[in-house]
Structure formats: structure tokens, C-alpha cells
Amino acid sequence: ILNVEQSPQSLHVQEGDSTNFTCSFPSSNFYALHWYRWETAKSPEALFVMTLNGDEKKKGRISATLNTKEGYSYLYIKGSQPEDSATYLCAFNNAGNMLTFGGGTRLMVKP
Amino acid sequence: EPEVTQTPSHQVTQMGQEVILRCVPISNHLYFYWYRQILGQKVEFLVSFYNNEISEKSEIFDDQFSVERPDGSNFTLKIRSTKLEDSAMYFCASRQRTSALASNEQFFGPGTRLTVL
């Protein structure tokens, strides 16, 4: 059984704060690490697919890093806005078809 | 922008009844998936489907479950005799066939919330 863990489970920040969360995953048989943003009643939206150790990807105010040797990825949000409020999911892909998800980090940004 | 759609958004059924959850994947995608999330738990993989057959399935996907691609567009999940513990949000996903590592992205639908009474 693959173990993918995310921390913290939930996070409340003020508008303008920068924040980050962690995803840890098995360091063996690594293929890809996915980050999704999920708002209630909507489709989980793909943010990043990360494949190479040391990868850093950026989309607007959101960025992510990857360390496959130690088995972790960080997601950063710079200058959080209320519209960033969502659950952020990471998912580990070990060359099979399936994604193994973490429990998610629920972010709430107060105006 | 193309998207994965799912119907219905919410299905309520009695224990023991059969349900069919429907998905329309993105049109040029060739790999199809079902996942589910029981309230308060992690999203779990159920099954993947490629070239008209199951390519991988989890322990959850027992004989009560089946998948089908009845035509060129729909992808369905059938639960033959629902149990209380089948209550969950069921997500469909699809992806292209590509050798590029960075394009391994799975695109998700908005989910069907199944409530078994």
C-alpha cells in the first residue's frame, strides 16, 4: 500500500499572506507527482505534473518543488487571495496507471 | 476548453439497487479512470480502462462493479447491488495517450455524489 501524506490538513490565512503545504510520498518507483486544486462542486483542476528531481514549476502566484530522493513536494502560494480558497490535493504516480492521493490540504483565505 | 462531464451530479438509491454512473471523457483521450472519495477519506483509485478493457483495478473494484464504454463517447460505472458503504463521491478521469512524461495529466470530472439509503 502506497502512503501519500499531506500537511497541514487545513490552513486559515489572511489575504496577502504567503503559505506553503507539504506532500510526502514513497521515494522508490517514482514516476510523477501531480498537484490538483479542488473547489467544492467543481472538477479537480490540474496545477502541475512534476517528474524530475529538483523540478520547480510556477503558474502565476503558485509554485511547486519536487525532491524525489527524499520523497516530498512543496506547494507555495504567494500573496494568497480569497479565490485561492480550495482543497489542494497531491497524487503520486508510480508508473502504473493509477494515482494515489494524499488527504488534501484545505486552504481558507480570509479577506 | 474541453472537459470531462459526469451525470447525474447526485444520485440517491436504496440499498440493493443497481446504479449506473455516466461520464463523457475528453474526446481524443484514450485512458479512462474511476476514483471515489468516501466522506472524510482520501480519494481512492477504482479502475483504469484502455483499448476496451480494464488495465488495472484496485481491491475495492470487486464483482459488484463493472465498467463499460458502450459507444464512442460514454464511459460508465455500474454498481450491481449497492451497499451503504458505497456512498461516496465518484470521479471519472481521462488522459491522452502520450509518451511524454509531462503529459501524464489526468483530467477529472466534477463527480457524482452517490447516496445509498
| List of long-range contacts for B2-5, beta carbons under 8 Å, 24+ apart | B2/B26, B2/B27, B3/A43, B3/B107, B3/B109, B4/A43, B4/B92, B4/B93, B4/B94, B4/B107, B4/B108, B4/B109, B5/B109, B5/B110
Kindly report, residue by residue over B44-62, the tens digit of the pLDDT.
Answer: 999 999 989 999 999 999 9
Report chain B residues whose CB lies below 8 A from the CB of A4: 42
Contact yes or no for B43 and A89 at CB 8 A: yes
- CB of B34 within 8 Å of a chain A CB? The answer is no
Contact yes or no for A97 and B102 at CB 8 A: no
Kindly report, residue by residue over A35-56, the tens digit of the pLDDT.
Answer: 999 998 899 999 999 999 999 9
Kindly report, residue by residue over B63-106, the tens digit of the pLDDT.
Answer: 999 999 988 789 999 999 999 999 999 999 999 876 555 457 89
Report chain B residues whose CB lies below 8 A from the CB of A44: 91, 108
Kindly report, residue by residue over B13-48, the tens digit of the pLDDT.
Answer: 999 999 999 999 998 898 999 999 999 999 999 999
What average pLDDT does range A70-83 have in this prediction? 96
- The nearest CA of chain A is from the CA of B45 a distance in Å of 6
pLDDT of residue B99: 55
* pLDDT at residue B1 greater than cutoff 90: no
